[in-house]
Amino acid sequence: MEYRRLGNSGLKVSALGLGTNAFGSRADEETSIRIVRQALDHGMNFIDTANIYSGSESERIIGLALEGRRHDVVLATKAGLVRGSGPNERGSSRYHLQQELDNSLKRLKTDYVDLYQIHTLDPHTPFEETLRALDDMVRAGKVRYIGASNYFAWELMKALGISELKGLNRYVSIQVSYSLADRTPEPELVPLCLDQGVGIIPYFPLAGGILTGKYTSRDDIPAGSRADKNPDFGRFLDDERLRLGKEVVRMAEAKGVSPGALSLSWLMHKPAVSTVIVGATRWEQLEANLESVSVRLEPEEMEELDRLSQPFVYREPFAIYRLPQ
């Protein structure tokens, strides 16, 4: 396994990280625990979850899976998206974050998290309130590093500026949708992260399976796939993305690797990317993606993939999660 610094911090994370939003829903408890433990055995040390994944079941299951192995893991969770119908059950106010962190720690069976991330910007809470609350968590030993998710570039820069001005702990990472089928972070966010030393953690790195070659047309939907279980996903299966998926399959076959491994490797070769999180509902899925860590792309291969995916630099993001204004 390859390990990289998370941004400019001293924390080392595996180039391939484990995403767990399916734990407790699309993957049952037994399967999820097995995936976590086998991932650790293969050198993956970054595990990402959130307080809302599978109705908090993801955190609870991870807590069980890490019993006796907590010291092997860089454990990341998030808060900020909607938890309930109450007026304070969302956002990044001090009130909400403190409550959610304490609940997450109980479910995760730990007294600290390595990376605590704001799941999305809260338009109703001042930046300084959020950043001071996070700084207090770090000083209390409940959190080691802080990160953002789903921030626009200007929002991230504003947060970093406030932290600098006020002497507060600053974000070391940002999670964002980023893949061959979504290169929207590149014009603004990537240069910002390179300049400010913020590590990028891509989610949806395989565009929901489009970059694995499993979808060949809008009408040919594999049983059990994301598009099969969630018909709304079909809106992503436009001609341009399907064409990109076929080109990735062509290049992968020529190189003798899987399309998924090729797509993940492309991301790992991109500047500012610290760790790429991939989800799994079966160990075999994750095992196949581990191939990506050993795939080395030649400059001409990177150029070809860049050319094929150029239309996705200035399109709408594949995914972004925001609170209502």
For the chain, which domains are there? 3-312 (3.20.20.100)
In the block, tokens 């080395």 appear at 296
Give CA–CA dist 248/237, Å, rounded.
Answer: 15
Phi and psi for 76 in degrees, rounded to 5? -120, 135
Cβ–Cβ < 8 Å for 291, 42: no
pLDDT tens, the chain, 325 aa long = 999 999 999 999 999 999 999 999 999 999 999 999 999 999 999 999 999 999 999 999 999 999 999 999 999 999 999 999 999 999 999 999 999 999 999 999 999 999 999 999 999 999 999 999 999 999 999 999 999 999 999 999 999 999 999 999 999 999 999 999 999 999 999 999 999 999 999 999 999 888 998 776 555 656 555 655 566 665 767 788 889 999 999 999 999 999 999 999 999 999 999 999 999 999 999 999 999 999 999 999 999 999 999 999 999 999 999 998 7
Angle at 16 between CA 31 and CA 278, to 5 degrees: 50
The enclosing H or E element of 166 equals helix 153-166
Structure tokens at 175: 């999670």
Q: 203: closest CA among 173, 236, 228?
A: 173
Give CA–CA dist 290/160, Å, rounded.
Answer: 33
pTM (predicted TM-score)? 0.94
Q: Name beta bridge partners: 154.
A: none
Q: Is the dihedral of CA 103, 143, 108, 197 positive or negative?
A: positive
Angle at 46 between CA 40 and CA 50, to 5 degrees: 115
Phi and psi for 45 in degrees, rounded to 5? -115, -5
Q: What is the DSSP letter of 266?
A: H
Which member of 53, 116, 145, 178 is catalytic? 53
Q: Which long-range contacts (CB under 8 A, 24 or more apart) does 304-311 make?
A: 304/251, 305/180, 305/248, 305/251, 305/262, 305/266, 308/180, 308/244, 308/247, 308/248, 309/180, 309/181, 309/183, 309/244, 310/183, 311/240
Q: 272: closest CA among 196, 206, 211?
A: 196
Cα 149 to the center of its chain, rounded Å: 8
**The 171-177 sheet, strands edge to edge:** 199-203, 171-177, 143-149, 113-118, 74-79, 46-48, 16-19, 276-279
Q: Any catalytic annotation for residue 53?
A: yes
